[in-house]
Amino acid sequence: MTTASTHPLVGELVDGRYRVLRHLADGGMATVLLATDTRLDREVALKVMRPDLAADDTFVSRFRREARSAARLSHPNVVPVFDQGEDGGQVFLAMEYIEGRTARAVIDAEGALTPRAALDILEPVLTGLAAAHEAGYIHRDVKPENVLIADRGPIKVADFGLARAVTSQTTTAEDGVLFGTVAYLSPEQVERGIADARSDVYAAGLILFELLTGQRAVEGESPIHVAFQHVHGSLPVPSEVVDGLPPELDDLVALATHRDPDERPRDAGGYLAELQRVRADLTPDQLDRRPPAERRAAVAGTATIAHARPRPTTAIATTAAGSGRDDTTTEQVPPSRRRRRGRGVLVALLLAGLIAAGGGWWWTQEGPGSTVLVPELAGQSQEDVESILTQHELTLTEQRAFDEKVPEGDAITSNPPIGTQLSKGSDVTVVFSKGPERYEVPDLDGRTTSQATADLKAKHLTIGTTSQAWDAEVPTGQVVSSSPAAGTSLKRDATVNLVISKGPEPVAVPSVTGKSAADATTAIEDADLEVTEADEVYSTSVAKGAVVSQSPTSGTLLPGETVTITVSKGPEMVAVPDVNGLSRAAATKKLQDAGFKVSVQTFLGGPLDEVRASRPGSGSAPKGSTVTILVV
């Protein structure tokens, strides 16, 4: 960024503090010098205003106000303002010195960049703008020349808010200054002279176009032509200039450069979020795809066009040049005629002077050249505003905006502001309040999370926290409830918390083994489960009519699922065979074959090996029970 040119201040001490080291560059508003802050022993960029601007009291007043405002903005991606002052008619601004290049120099040197490189530059720019917009500051002159890419350190945005100090009287087309600014003006700035955060977003979209293509989106032969295209023309699509660019980048540029500011993101933070979303969706191949070599060479090899300075106004000669007569000779006229002619000329001149004076008075006091001051309009109703402007012979252009404090229908602000001197018949843009910006929470019950997200986005609201809850009626994955509830009015971008259904809550399976079939059925149904009975089975351990087993035996089931129980028929009864007179072995076998267990008792050791009795000895007994035999 260093140039070989010199400046009268090089070597001088400005304001008794800043030792000027060398000349760096010239801009539309000022000359930029490298200086040392002798008080803090650090290098600073000293921006010295153009002499014609420094001589404009209105500009100097605005400049000081905007410089103080910019100095309050502190962010890693914004060039900080250290000081501002005036010394010997030199109005200056001391800012951080960034060693590196501007985005304009990068584009001029390299032409079209890869999408990754373009987004790498624009993302910190939007980060800095987003912080400013959140703090209530607007840049008003976002362009590649104000994007500083440091050799070491973050990318930063310079000249924050200073564009507001430049009036229409101080803006010229010299050295392409107006070209450089008009190329990034939003339609509302061109048409109505107003700017808000969305105007900065518009300019950021044009910078993205230029980074991706290596050329300006809007070109023209004059500033008026360029401005006309912003308002009435259509912007080209990046992929039409550079083959192979993803359509997502076309959409990203189009989103920021919509002619209607209401269709753009409301501030740089919103555009930054959209940029990050698009970037995350692009593949590495798409991000790193180089523009065609011929495209880069064509752009990078094109010299920057310097727009000629307008020629100074040339005074028209009072002599009749080219009349064919020698100016040193005069026609011989009798003295009396010369005296009469002289008196006639004098009378004509006096009359012309009176007419001119009267006409001048009429022009400045009553005619088109007369001026009025913009009255106080803030807080007035629209009817009162119309009446006041009519009394002041000014015309009204309406705009609407949300406002948290100004009642609906009342004026928020005017442009130009109160006290501005205007010609009669001039237009004053008044922004009327639409009241607080509020959106109703839609009915989200039964919607999926993605559907709820879309519904909230359509209402300019966002999802906050999501939690889950059991619900027997709302299917899994759908919204059970929202907080705040449907119909509640919220500010733009407010969050709505959702409760998402996990489906019916599982219930514990009750243990009913050993209970009667009736009691078991009641216990299972009370747990909101269904009961089914398997075929009854014999059981020697569980009484008849009681539950022998169940499936499942434990754990959890969803309401309405089934528990199967098996009911006891009691023990199976079989006839006890007669074993009297049989040997011990024969009796044992006969009883075991019948399904009994055998217990043997002997008398005197059972020398005869003969069964004399059994217990039970006749009838029937539960199968599997024990029969005792007596062996003698």
- Catalytic residue numbers, as ranges: 141
Q: Which tokens is 345 given?
A: 């000329």
CA distance 139 to 161: 4
CA distance 159 to 145: 10
Element of type H or E holding 254: helix 247-256
Burial zone of 174 (CB within 10 Å; 0-12 exposed, 13-18 middle, 19+ buried): middle
CA distance 406 to 388: 19
Residue 466: other Cβ atoms inside 10 A: 12
Measured between its terminal Cα atoms, the distance across the chain in Å is: 128
Characterize the bridge pairing of strands 81-87 and 42-49: unpaired
CA distance 568 to 566: 7
401: Cβ–Cβ under 8 A, 6 or more apart, which residues? 412, 431, 432, 433, 434
Q: Which tokens is 211 given?
A: 């980074």
CA distance 481 to 497: 9
Closest CA to 111 of 285, 248, 304: 304
CA distance 223 to 185: 11
The amino acid at residue 96 is E
439: Cβ–Cβ under 8 A, 6 or more apart, which residues? 459, 460, 461, 489, 490, 491, 492, 494
Sign, CA torsion 90/95/99/105: negative
Residues in the chain: 632
Three-state SS for 82-129 is EEEEEECCEEEEEEECCCEEEHHHHHHHHCCCCHHHHHHHHHHHHHHH
* Structural contact between residues 410 and 432, judged by C-beta atoms closer than 8 angstroms: yes
